[in-house]
Every structure is written in structure tokens, then in C-alpha cells.
Amino acid sequence: MNPQKESWELLAHHIIKEMGRRNMEGYYCSTSEEAVAKAMSLIPAGAVVAWGGSETLRETGMLERLKNSGQLQIIDRDTAADEEEKRELQLRSFGADYYFMSTNAITREGELINIDGAGNRVACLIYGPRAVIMLAGMNKVVKDVESGIERVRNISAPPNAKRLQLNTPCAKVGYCMDCHSEDCICSDMVITRHTRQKNRIKVILVGESLGY
């Protein structure tokens, strides 16, 4: 086995154990293909499924698999004809059975760190959908919460702002300027250290470098 893969697997098992103490359910998959298959095995036919913006979900093929399953009720905000319809679809996402997303960072002790621009993604993480399924590459693992916030602001946010074509300072200089711009992508910061609904949050760690 690749030494990097071996190290990631060992670290993932430690994180999964720590997540268990936080009432979160963790899994490790060596590849994106395995991760997508695992995620699909967690969803019953007919379930209502939605998702938040995520490069990881696109890279792994998770979004394509969900959209083409033929057995799920999909809430896809990208099909909206205008901003009002998009808002309606986002509001419907709160009532989904399963909400898919990634995480901007995860600590070695199983804490999740997420920053959001509009807040709809982190809102669904906190409350609403019956279950949240996360796919996250092992490149997102950090030492602690402080390191996670640093990673999110300076590694995740700038390329995400670029991807979304936002007019933010970080999109122009490549690092966080602690801005208050109209397009600010770091409006809300959420640290998930525990969930009261046991196993509502399910995290699939993937032995690959994925997303930002």
C-alpha cells in the first residue's frame, strides 16, 4: 500500500473513534468510488435528498450518482429558474431526509469546522434534515480547531471564492483579508464539537486529496 494511504487510514481510524465520542458516525474509504458506494448504501429508496455547495461532492462523483439514481427524490437548487425559486428549494432542503455536504476542516479529535457565505449549508448541518452525510478527503484533517479556522480562511475560502466568481479580496490576493465585502464567503463560522442526535451526522473520510 502507498505509505501516504497507510498513514491516512491509521489517522482516519483515530478520528472515527473520536467522532464516536461526539455522537457522530464515521467511516473510512480508500477511494472516491468506495465512498460514493458507501454513501448510497446509507440511503433508502424514495428518500428526499438535498445538498450544499461542495467541490468534493463533484470530484468524487457523488452529485452525479445522486442525480442519476432514479430512486431518490432530489432537491436540486441548481435547477431554479431565478433567485426566488432557489430560495424556495433551499428552504425545502431543511426538510430533507438526507443532506449531503463536505466539511471545510476536521480536527484529529473529530471536530468539524465550517465557514459559510449565505449560511444555508451550515444551517442544515446544525438542524433540519434528518441526517447529514459528509464526504471529506484526508487533506482536510488539521491538528486542532485553531488550525482548522486558519485552513478554512486561507486554503478553502480563496479558491472557493474564485470558483463561485465572487468579488472578494481573497479571490484577488489568494489569502484571507478578514473582509466585510458584499460577497463575503466567511459570514458564518460553525464548530461542531458534538451532536445531541446520535449518528445524525455521518462522516465518510476518503483516502484522497479532495476539494479545497
Residue 168 lies in a domain: no
pLDDT score, position 164: 87
Indicate which CATH number applies to the domain containing 131: 3.40.50.10420
Residue 176 lies in a domain: no
Residue 20 lies in a domain: yes
CA distance 105 to 166: 21
pTM (2 d.p.)? 0.94
Tens place of pLDDT per residue across the chain (212 aa): 688 989 999 999 999 999 999 999 999 999 999 999 999 999 999 999 999 999 999 999 999 999 999 999 999 998 999 999 999 999 999 999 999 999 999 999 999 999 999 899 999 999 999 999 999 999 999 999 999 999 999 999 999 899 889 999 999 999 999 999 999 989 999 999 999 999 999 999 999 999 99
How many domains would you assign to the chain?
A: 1
pLDDT score, position 55: 95
Long-range pairs for 81-86: beta carbons < 8 A, 24 or more residues apart: none
pLDDT score, position 38: 98
Residue 121 lies in a domain: yes
Residue 35 lies in a domain: yes
pLDDT score, position 148: 94
Residue 7 lies in a domain: yes
**Cα–Cα distances in angstroms (integers) from residue 187 to residues 73, 90, 134, 153, in the given order:** 30, 18, 21, 11
- Tell me which DSSP letter residue 140 carries: G
Residue 100 lies in a domain: yes
Residue 66 lies in a domain: yes
Q: What is the dihedral of CA 86, 87, 93, 99, to 10 degrees?
A: 70
What is the domain extent for residue 26?
Answer: 3-143+188-206
